[in-house]
A and B are shown apart, each in its own frame.
Chain A
Amino acid sequence: MTGAGLRVRDLDSFYGPAQILFEVGFDVAPGEVVALLGRNGAGKSTTLRSLMGLMARREGEISFRDTRIETLPTYEIARLGLGYVPEDRRIFTELTVEENLTVGQQRPREGVTTWTPERLYALFPNLAEMRRRPGGQMSGGEQQMLTIARTLMGNPSLILLDEPSEGLAPKIIEQMADAIVTMKREGLSIVISEQNLHFARLICDRAYILEKGRIRFQGSMAELEADEAVRNQYLAV
Chain B
Amino acid sequence: MSLYVVQFLAGLANAASLFLAASGLSLIFGVTRIVNFAHGAFYMLGAYMAFTLTRTLDGAVGFWAAILIAAAVVAVMGALLEMVLLRRIYQAPELFQLLATFGVTLMVEDIVLLVWGPEDLVGPRAPGLEGAILVMGRPLPTYDILLIALGPIVLLGLWLLMHRTRWGVLVRAATQDRDMVAALGVNQKWLFTGVFTLGIFLAALGGALQIPRTAVSHHMDLSIIVEVFVITVIGGLGSITGAFLAAILVSLLNAFGILIFPSISLVLIFLCMAVVLVIRPWGFLGKPVVAGHKSAGVTVRPWQPWSREARIGAAIVVAIAALLPFWLGTYGLFVGAEMMIAVIFAVSLQFLMSTGGLDSFGHAAYFGLGAYGAAMAVKWLGAPMEAALLIAPLTGLVGALVFGWFCVRLSGVYFAMLTLAFAQILWSIAFQWVPVTGGDNGILGVWPSGWASSPATYYWLTLAVAVFSVAALRMLVFSPFGYALRGVRDSTLRASAIGFSRQRVQYAAFAVAGAFAGLAGALFAFLKGSIFPDALSIPQSVDGLVMVLLGGIATVSGSVVGAIVYTAASIWLMSQTDLSRLVLGGLIVVLVVAFPKGIVGSISDLVGGPLFRRRGAGPAGREAAVAGSEGA
Enumerate chain A interface residues (CB-CB to B < 8 A).
Answer: 15-18, 52, 54, 73-76, 78-79, 84, 86, 90, 92-95, 99-100, 102-106, 150-151, 154
Q: Given A75-B185, A102-B166, A103-B169, decide whether A16 and B623 contact each other with a Cβ distance below 8 A.
A: yes
Name the B residues within 8 Å of A100 (CB-CB). Answer: 173
Name the A residues within 8 Å of B175 (CB-CB). Answer: 94
A75 and B187 form a contact (CB under 8 A):
yes
Closest beta carbon of chain A to B614's beta carbon, Å: 16
Name the B residues within 8 Å of A93 (CB-CB). Answer: 176
A92 and B186 form a contact (CB under 8 A):
no
Closest beta carbon of chain A to B302's beta carbon, Å: 15
A103 and B184 form a contact (CB under 8 A):
yes
B170 at the interface (CB under 8 A from A): yes
| Whole-angstrom CA separation of A73 from B190 in the bound complex | 14
B177, B179, B184 — which one has the most chain A CB atoms within 10 A of its CB?
A: B184
B132 at the interface (CB under 8 A from A): no
Q: Given A102-B166, A103-B173, decide whether A154 and B184 contact each other with a Cβ distance below 8 A.
A: yes
| Whole-angstrom CA separation of A76 from B626 in the bound complex | 30
B183 and A74 form a contact (CB under 8 A):
yes
Q: Which of B136-193 contact A (CB under 8 A)?
A: 166, 169-170, 172-173, 175-177, 179-188
Q: What is the chain A residue whose CB lies nearest that of B182? A: A74
Q: What is the chain B residue whose CB lies nearest that of A89? A: B180
B173 and A75 form a contact (CB under 8 A):
no
A103 and B186 form a contact (CB under 8 A):
yes
A75 and B180 form a contact (CB under 8 A):
no
Q: What is the chain B residue whose CB lies nearest that of A85? A: B183
Partner pick for A104 among B172, B184, B620, B624, CB 8 A cutoff: B184
Q: What is the chain A residue whose CB lies nearest that of B630? A: A15
Partner pick for A95 among B169, B179, B182, B187, CB 8 A cutoff: B169
Partner pick for B182 among A18, A78, A99, A102, CB 8 A cutoff: A78
Name the B residues within 8 Å of A18 (CB-CB). Answer: 624, 627-628
Name the B residues within 8 Å of A92 (CB-CB). Answer: 172-173, 176-177, 180
Q: List 17 A-B contacts (CB under 8 A).
A: A15-B631, A16-B620, A16-B623, A16-B624, A16-B626, A18-B624, A18-B627, A54-B179, A75-B187, A75-B188, A78-B183, A90-B177, A93-B176, A95-B176, A99-B169, A103-B173, A104-B184
Name the A residues within 8 Å of B623 (CB-CB). Answer: 16-17
Partner pick for A52 among B170, B176, B183, CB 8 A cutoff: B183
Closest 8 CB pairs of A and B: A78-B185, A16-B627, A74-B182, A16-B623, A90-B180, A103-B173, A79-B185, A75-B182
Partner pick for A73 among B166, B182, B620, CB 8 A cutoff: B182
Our count of residue pairs bridging A and B at CB distance below 8 angstroms stands at 73
Name the A residues within 8 Å of B180 (CB-CB). Answer: 86, 90, 92
Q: Given A99-B169, A102-B166, A103-B169, decide whether A84 and B183 contact each other with a Cβ distance below 8 A.
A: yes
Closest beta carbon of chain B to A58's beta carbon, Å: 15
Closest beta carbon of chain A to B166's beta carbon, Å: 6
Name the A residues within 8 Å of B166 (CB-CB). Answer: 102, 105
Starting from the known contacts A95-B169, A99-B169, A104-B184, 15 additional A-B residue pairs (CB-CB under 8 Å) come to A16-B623, A16-B627, A52-B183, A54-B183, A74-B183, A75-B185, A75-B187, A78-B183, A78-B184, A86-B183, A95-B173, A99-B172, A103-B186, A106-B184, A154-B185
| Whole-angstrom CA separation of A214 from B176 in the bound complex | 34
| Whole-angstrom CA separation of A84 from B183 in the bound complex | 7
Name the B residues within 8 Å of A102 (CB-CB). Answer: 166, 169
Q: What is the chain A residue whose CB lies nearest that of B170? A: A103
Q: What is the chain A residue whose CB lies nearest that of B627? A: A16
Name the A residues within 8 Å of B624 (CB-CB). Answer: 16-18
Q: Given A16-B624, A54-B179, decide whether A94 and B172 contact each other with a Cβ distance below 8 A.
A: yes
B627 and A15 form a contact (CB under 8 A):
yes
| Whole-angstrom CA separation of A232 from B177 in the bound complex | 39
Q: Given A16-B624, A18-B627, A103-B170, decide whether A94 and B176 contact each other with a Cβ distance below 8 A.
A: yes
Name the A residues within 8 Å of B179 (CB-CB). Answer: 54, 74
A103 and B181 form a contact (CB under 8 A):
yes
Closest beta carbon of chain A to B154's beta carbon, Å: 21
Name the B residues within 8 Å of A76 (CB-CB). Answer: 187
